[in-house]
Amino acid sequence: MKKNNNFYITTPIYYTNAPIHLGGAYTTIAADVLARWHKLLGENVFLLTGTDEHGQKIQEIAEQNNQKPKEFVDKIVAEFKEAFKMLNISNNNFIRTTDKSHEEEVKKLLTKLYEKKLIYKGHYESYYCVGCEQYLTKTDLIDGKCPLHNRVPELKKEEAYLFKLSAFQDKLLNLIKTEKYEILPKERRKEILTFISGGLQDVSISRLKEKINWGIELPFDKKHTVWVWPDAFWNYISGLKQTGESNFDKFWPPNVQLMAKDIIRVHATIWPALLLGAGYELPKTLFVHGYFTIGGQKMSKSLGNVISPIYLTKRYGVDSVRYYLIRNISFGSDGDVSENGLIERYNNELANKLGNLVSRVTSLIEKNGIEKTENKLLKKLKLKEIEKYFENYELDKALSEIFAFVDVCNEYVQNNKLWETKDKKALYEVADSIKAIAILLWPFIPDTSEKIAKQFEFKITSLKDISKPLNEKVKISKGEILFKKI
Ligand code: MSP
What are the pLDDT digits (tens) for 147-163?
888 888 888 788 999 99
Q: Is residue 425 part of a domain?
A: yes
Q: What is the pLDDT of residue 88?
A: 98
- Model pLDDT for residues 5-22, shown as the tens digit of each residue: 999 999 999 999 999 989
Report the residue among 291, 294, 301, 334 best suited for mutation to probe ligand 1: largest number of ligand atoms under 8 A from its CB: 291
Q: Percent of the chain at pLDDT above 70?
A: 99
- Model pLDDT for residues 214-256, shown as the tens digit of each residue: 999 999 999 999 999 999 999 999 999 999 999 999 999 999 9
Residue 127 has pLDDT above 90, yes or no: no
> How far, in Å, CA of 206 to CA of 124, rounded?
10
Q: What is the pLDDT of residue 2?
A: 65
Per-residue 3-state assignment (H helix, E strand, C coil) for the chain: CCCCCEEEEEEEEEECCCCCCHHHHHHHHHHHHHHHHHHHCCCEEEEEEEEECCCHHHHHHHHHCCCCHHHHHHHHHHHHHHHHHHCCCCCCEEEECCCHHHHHHHHHHHHHHHHCCCEEEEEEEEEEECCCCEEECHHHCECCEECCCCECCEEEEEEEEEECHHHHHHHHHHHHHCCCCEEECHHHHHHHHHHHHCCCCCEECEEECCCCCCCCECCCCCCEEECHHHHHHCHHHHHHHCCCHHHHHHHCCCCEEEEEHHHHHHHHCHHHHHHHHHCCCCCCEEEEECCEEECCECCCCCCCCCCCHHHHHHHHCHHHHHHHHHHHCCCCCCEEECHHHHHHHHHHHHHHHHHHHHHHHHHHHHHHCCCCCCCCHHHHCCHHHHHHHHHCCCHHHHHHHHHHHHHHHHHHHHHCCHHHHCCHHHHHHHHHHHHHHHHHHCCCCHHHHHHHHHHCCCCCCCHHHHHCCCCCCCCCCCCCCCCCCC
Give Cβ neighbours of residue 67 (< 8 Å, ≥ 6 apart).
none
Q: Is residue 246 part of a domain?
A: no
CA of 94 to the centre of ligand 1 (A): 16
Ligand 1 site, residue 323, Cβ cutoff 6 A: no
Q: Is residue 451 part of a domain?
A: yes
- Model pLDDT for residues 301-349, shown as the tens digit of each residue: 667 778 899 999 999 999 999 999 999 999 999 999 999 999 999 999 9
How many residues belong to the chain? Answer: 486
> Average pLDDT, stretch 16-32?
95
> Average pLDDT, stretch 278-303?
89
Would you call 411 exposed, middle or buried from its count of C-beta atoms within 10 A (0-12, 13-18, 19+)? exposed
Residue 3 has pLDDT above 70, yes or no: no
**Greater model confidence, 299 or 437:** 437
Other Cβ atoms within 10 Å of 303 Cβ, number: 11
Q: What is the pLDDT of residue 477?
A: 86
Band of the pLDDT at 104, cuts 50, 70, 90? very high
Band of the pLDDT at 4, cuts 50, 70, 90? confident
> How far, in Å, CA of 278 to CA of 161, rounded?
17
Residue 1 has pLDDT above 70, yes or no: no
Q: Percent of the chain at pLDDT above 90?
A: 86
**Does the CA dihedral 66-70-73-78 come out positive or negative?**
negative
> Average pLDDT, stretch 68-90?
97
Q: pTM value?
A: 0.94
Other Cβ atoms within 10 Å of 2 Cβ, number: 16
Ligand 1 site, residue 163, Cβ cutoff 6 A: no
Average pLDDT, the chain: 95
Instruction: Pick the atom of ligand 1 nearest to 233's CA.
Output: 6
Q: Is residue 361 part of a domain?
A: yes
CA of 229 to the centre of ligand 1 (A): 13
Lowest-confidence segment of 68-72, 211-215, 326-330, 445-449 by average pLDDT = 211-215
Ligand 1 site, residue 149, Cβ cutoff 6 A: no
Q: What is the pLDDT of residue 280?
A: 98
Residue 115 has pLDDT above 80, yes or no: yes
Ligand 1 site, residue 260, Cβ cutoff 6 A: yes
Q: What is the pLDDT of residue 479?
A: 85
Q: What is the pLDDT of residue 147?
A: 86
Question: What CATH number is associated with residue 345?
Answer: 1.10.730.10
Report the residue among 27, 256, 288 best suited for mutation to probe ligand 1: largest number of ligand atoms under 8 A from its CB: 27
Measured by CA distance, the residue closest to atom 22 of ligand 1 is 23
Number of domains in the chain: 1
Residue 270 has pLDDT above 60, yes or no: yes
Measured by CA distance, the residue closest to atom 17 of ligand 1 is 260
Where in the sequence is the domain holding 453, given as residue range(s)?
A: 338-467
Q: Is residue 49 part of a domain?
A: no
Residue 87 has pLDDT above 60, yes or no: yes
Q: Is residue 107 part of a domain?
A: no
Q: Is residue 333 part of a domain?
A: no
Q: Is residue 450 part of a domain?
A: yes
